[in-house]
Structure 1
C-alpha cells in the first residue's frame, strides 16, 4: 500500500508543475490564467505567446504525465500501481497544488500517461485524433473523441482491466473540463484548425 500511495503522491506533485505558467514566466509572457481563454494549456499559450512557447508547454505537459509512469514501471511496480500513478499525474495537472488548484484541461498530460501505460494504446488514440482533426478540423472534438475511445481501445488490446478503470474517470474529467468547448461545438462556434479569427 505504501509504495502505491507514494507513487500516486509523487505523480500528483509532478503533474502539479504547470508547464504553461512556468513557460510564460520564463519567457516574460502574461499569466495564461489571466489572458486569452484563461486556461493554462498549450492552446492558450499559443494565443498569447506564439508557437515556441506553445510547443514548450505541450512537451512539458506531456512529459509530466509520461515520466512518473515510466519511473514507476522502472521501479518494478505492478499494473495497479501504474494505473494509480497515471491517474495521480493527470489529477495533478487538472488541480495543481503549486498553482492554487487551477490547472489545464488535461489533453497533453493524458496523452503522456497513456504513452507510459501502453504505446499501442497511445497509437490508437493518436490515430483517432488525426482522423477526427483532418476530417472535422476541430481540435477539441478530436481530443474528446480520442479520449472517449481510449478505454475501449485498452479493453480491445487486452490491457489490464485496472487501466480501463483508471481511464474512465480521466475521460469523465476531460469531458467536464471541455464543457465550454462542447457548448461551442453544439452552437457551431468552436474554432477550427487553421482558422484565423476575423479582425474586428
Structure 2
C-alpha cells in the first residue's frame, strides 16, 4: 500500500501546474493559448520572459519537493521516492482537471532524480547541460538525462530502475512532436552560451 499512496500523493501534487498559476494569477492569461501552448517552464520563458519561466520552474520544483518530503517521512522506504516521482510525472503531464493535458515534466524529473540520488542526479543533469550547449536543443538533452539516470538506478535497484524507465517513456511521449521536429531538422534552437556571454558582457558574433 505504501507504493500506492506514494503514487497518489505524487499525482495530486503533480496536478499543480505552476505555469497555469503564474499565468492566471500574475499575467491574467491562459499559457496554453500562447506559443507552443505547453503549460511549462520553456514556453513561459520563451513567450512571457525569463522571469516568469524561472518562477514557473521554481514552483514546479517546490511542489515536487513537498510531495517527496511527505512520502519520505510517511513511508521511509527509499523505493517510495521513485513511486512518488512516477505520480508527480503523471500528475504534471496528465492533470485530471485540464483534460489530462499538462507539461513535459523536465523540472519535476530533475527534482525527483536529485532527491532519489543527488550524486547521480547532478551528474546526469550536467551531461544534459553540456548537450544543451552543444546541440542548442531543449528536446534531446532532458531525455538523455532521465534515460542515463534510469539506467544507473537500474544497476542498483531493478524495481526503482523500471519505475524511472517508465518515467522516461512518459517524458518521451510528451516530447513526441518535438522529437519528430528534431529528426526533420525543424527543432527550435536555444543558444545558452550566447545568452551567458551576453549576460557577462562578452562580445558575440
Normalising to structure 2: TM-score of the pair? Answer: 0.86
Mapped partners of 1:9, 1:86: distance in 2 = 10
Name the counterpart of 1:187: 184
Count of paired positions: 193
Structure 1 stretches of 4+ moved >4 Å: none
Name the counterpart of 1:176: 173
Q: Which runs of 5 or more residues in structure 1 are unaligned?
A: none
Q: Deviations over 1:68-109 (max 9, x none)?
A: 122212334213322211111111101112333211111111
Q: Which runs of 5 or more residues in structure 2 are unaligned?
A: 195-205
Root-mean-square deviation (CA, aligned residues, Å) is: 1.9
**Structure 2 residue 59 is the aligned partner of structure 1 residue 91:** no
Shift of 1:180: 1.1
Q: Deviations over 1:37-56 (max 9, x none)?
A: 11100111113311111001
1:11–1:86 Cα contact (<8 Å) kept: yes
**Structure 2 residue 130 is the aligned partner of structure 1 residue 139:** no
2:133–2:191 Cα contact (<8 Å) kept: no
Q: Deviations over 1:2-33 (max 9, x none)?
A: x4323322221100001100010111242111
Name the counterpart of 1:12: 11
